[in-house]
Structure 1
């Protein structure tokens, strides 16, 4: 199951992680208006533990959390993982090819969640992944969650993702944008989590190299576009009322990730590291 394609995908997720960590630490270093020290990522490795379906000594993989608390980012995580094993029987039907592969799977990916300190800087999320059962496919996306929506920010973010899609015949921006709007929605609130982005899953066009090239460009588009948005608002003053609004908005983020997020479910159902899975939760939040 672990072949050259899997190794290439896993290596790219690790490389992108390193690029993102460097860029986010650079933002911390350049913001000198705060008396607080610049943040730096702390990396913590973890190994996937044994599972009832596979009680032997097989290496089930693991991952690495990169977590930073700083003066620009109140909390930001950039996690990578490469895991394999056997899905429990009741979860196999939820994963394409899970039954056909007798529950065997391999998965690798990167997940980024940013909770800025300033309420004027939007929170953001990006993840891309490759999963293999009896066949392999890619999934992922990126989205923006501002406390105070800014038309220019949203337009620039979407333009970057559209450019990444339009460069690749295997991608469909309009479909992925609509998919994102449907996915990042809180039915119990009847509201969107943020201003959207793109979301895609089960991407397997038959040309693995073309699919992989698109996935790479999604990561690079997010890296560049989000960095520009953070820098745009970084030096704008904010007040206690805006901070309170940010903490309330973060509550919506928590509700979605714990109630509806498929990545959270997949991580917990496949024996992932709980701290890494729940890395997306903000460090401070209120429900009024």
Structure 2
């Protein structure tokens, strides 16, 4: 029987002129499928590089000709619409993004780890499958719906419960963003817990440990790198969120003093202002410079998380 890598024509030569062996068709199909799979495999890399090149091309003019590094990163004054002396300081925007993301992680990490521990270690049968489906459904809710929940439901509740004038604040956005980041963190954390070999659990149980002792003393330490990777992926998810943050924060350029202060995030600034700028103008380029910063931060966070998760899988 001919090798599957045989070049077409060899079978024809062996079988006589004018004949077409079935194996020749299989060879062409095999090569076509290999090419399609290869293109699909590198498409993500091509898309990421294309996005970065586009964003960098649009923002490089501001970096080279208009950007004052000290003013851009260390001043909280963002007034790009001032015709006489526009100011491009993103300190308040970075503070708003960091405060919302930090609070979101305080909400998401305990919730996600608790859900992952219960699904992986305590739930069984139909209960486990039902909870996994519900977590996936939670991840499928669009961000604009989460933003609507923050605007219509959370806003009046915060005003009523905490007696504050405005409920669109860090607390509102942190809770919403934490719930948005929880599903991906739960899925990664569950995978990390399930990756711990069963012999670890069996050995601990043989020594008389309870199920919770096995989980706390054995499983969690063994899965810590995978859990850290899941948390970092959640941070990247929260840092790059736009619509929900835009709707739930109050969109005020402000360095927050408390969780009840309205803030503005970097992503929300781009979403709110890009449609009102002149293409190629200074304000337009400044927004793309913020996009470059966001791209680098989220890329670094996600790459770090991926390396951690890959490392624990190989280990």
Q: Same fold (TM over 0.5)?
A: no
Tell me the TM-score normalized by structure 1: 0.26
More strand, by proportion: 1
Tell me the TM-score normalized by structure 2: 0.24
